[in-house]
Amino acid sequence: MIRHPPLPRMLVACLAAAAFTVQAQQLPDPDAVSLERLGLMQGFPPPPDKVVSDANRGRYPQMRWALQHTRELVPTRNVRRGGGAVSALPAAPLPLERLSFVDDKGRTLTVDDWLRETYTDAVVVLHKGRVVFERYMNGMQPETPHLLFSITKSFTGLLAAQLVQEGRLDPDALVTRYVPELEGSAWGDMKLRQVLDMTGTVRFREVYTDPTTEIFPYLYASGLLPAPASYSGPSDIYAFLRTLKKGDGEHGDGFVYRTVHSEVLGWIVSRVTGRHFADLLSERIWTQLGMEEDANVMVDRVGTPLQGAGLSASARDLARFGEMLRRGGEFNGQRVLSAAAVADMTRGGDREKFKASGMSFRPGYSYRNQWWALNNADGAYEASGVNGQMLHVNPAAELVVVKLSSHPVAGAAFTHPLTLRAWDALARAVRGDTKP
């Protein structure tokens, strides 16, 4: 019998989008767990009780430091910005910190209240490409790379959508056309479109209290969790994927959020392009947008990128990426992605199939190409990751919002109803409907 060690909370967060049933009064005071107050990793060497290591990086509040220092704790591969000039982000400040709105519980909050209550590390708000609001907290700086968790999926999905437009991927083709190694697995009779939209059925349970579920060998294979001595399963991500079998029902029946689909999609993209995810991001995104900072992506023991949750980037660079999408794939007069690829991603997926997810905290949403579509009047869409990572784009309001956080609760359901109210308030403010 394999004995499984306790699963650190941050490692769970890498993969899970399920809500935790934590009451507000159980949460630590945000000021009490700020890095400024805690003094983690200060001094050379830091005192033993202030050290953040691989052993405790998943615990809270050590996780707050770890999300900003991933490359110091686990293997990563660099995403180069190149040697080109940094693209400007002109400023046109608005006093949005004083903007008030009614939250999902009927309370009147300011933007400052919202940021504090949701353990925000950084926020950047663009309107028409200009920075109207920017704030850094919890020791974060403009140059700091922050772990984006499942926002990584959306980068993978957009690259795949671009390859579809280039004719290098066929969404109606079987996965095995591109990765024959997956013959006999859950993806053996699955179409690429069903991977892109997470409607393929896979026997993969993400139940972190049950050591018999498939999440544990995934964590061991990816290196996200040290494997016990008795573990003899796959030792890398791709080997693990080949072991997964088809689940109940038929492919295409409904949307079920599964991180392993993103890993398969990343395998397909790398196979077709012949490029590592980090290099592809550098060539197609980072060097093209004039990013300020390099990014990095976590890798497993053999260097395979974690394309479901492993990317770290600065808030300002993520804002540049969002602004390029808002402009339909163009940035600074240069075409970065095809307008058709962006349009295909932003139009959303099947809303009826989305209902199978049980994500009632995302009313009206759908999912396509690893992106969330709000399906509202403004045509808004977003990428999100657990513990409060958000990239929100509202084309009608000409608004881009980046919010990076280190919330103690991984599940999006805990804060998403509040965040929806904040999105609406920010959109009204930049339109001039509400005075900040």
Mean pLDDT, the chain, rounded, equals: 92
Answer whether residue 9 shows pLDDT above 70. Answer: no
- How many whole angstroms from its chain centre is CA 356? 21
Taking the alpha carbons at both ends of the chain, their separation in whole angstroms is 60
> Three-state DSSP class for 270?
helix
Strands 389-394, 120-127: pairing kind: unpaired
Strands 399-405, 120-127: pairing kind: antiparallel
In this prediction, residues 366-378 reach a mean pLDDT of 97
d(CA 364, CA 366): 7
Q: Residue with structure tokens 């949460």?
A: 27
d(CA 92, CA 236): 47
List pLDDT tens digits, range 90-107. Answer: 999 999 999 999 999 999
pLDDT at 208: 65
Is the bond leading into 45 cis (omega within 30 degrees of zero)?
yes
Is the bond leading into 46 cis (omega within 30 degrees of zero)?
no
Percent of the chain with pLDDT over 70: 93
Answer whether residue 166 shows pLDDT above 90. Answer: yes
Closest C-alpha to 411, from 382, 386, 383, 389: 386
* CA 228, 231, 237, 241 torsion-angle sign: negative
> Three-state DSSP class for 400?
strand
Judge whether 132 and 430 are in contact, CB under 8 Å: yes
* CA 295, 300, 301, 304 torsion-angle sign: negative
pLDDT at 366: 97
* CA 346, 350, 352, 354 torsion-angle sign: negative
pLDDT at 149: 94
Judge whether 357 and 381 are in contact, CB under 8 Å: no
pLDDT at 209: 67
Judge whether 163 and 195 are in contact, CB under 8 Å: no
Judge whether 365 and 373 are in contact, CB under 8 Å: yes
pLDDT at 435: 53
| Residue 75: HSE in the Cβ half-sphere, 13 Å Cα cutoff | 12
Report CA Rg, the chain.
21
Closest C-alpha to 160, from 70, 38, 277, 20: 277
pLDDT at 246: 97
Q: Residue with structure tokens 């919002």?
A: 401
pLDDT at 434: 63
Judge whether 400 and 131 are in contact, CB under 8 Å: no
- How many whole angstroms from its chain centre is CA 204? 20
Q: Residue with structure tokens 């591969």?
A: 77
Closest C-alpha to 264, from 322, 332, 180: 180
| Two tokens, residue 311 | 């990317």
pLDDT at 13: 42
Q: What's the predicted TM-score (pTM) here?
A: 0.93
Answer whether residue 88 shows pLDDT above 60. Answer: yes
Neighbours of 64 (CB within 10 A): 26
List pLDDT tens digits, range 220-257. Answer: 898 877 788 889 999 999 999 999 999 999 999 999 99
Runs of H (alpha helix) within 274-327: 277-281, 287-289, 315-326
Active site residues: 150
| Two tokens, residue 435 | 């005075």
Helix (H) or strand (E) holding 155: helix 151-165
d(CA 145, CA 135): 15
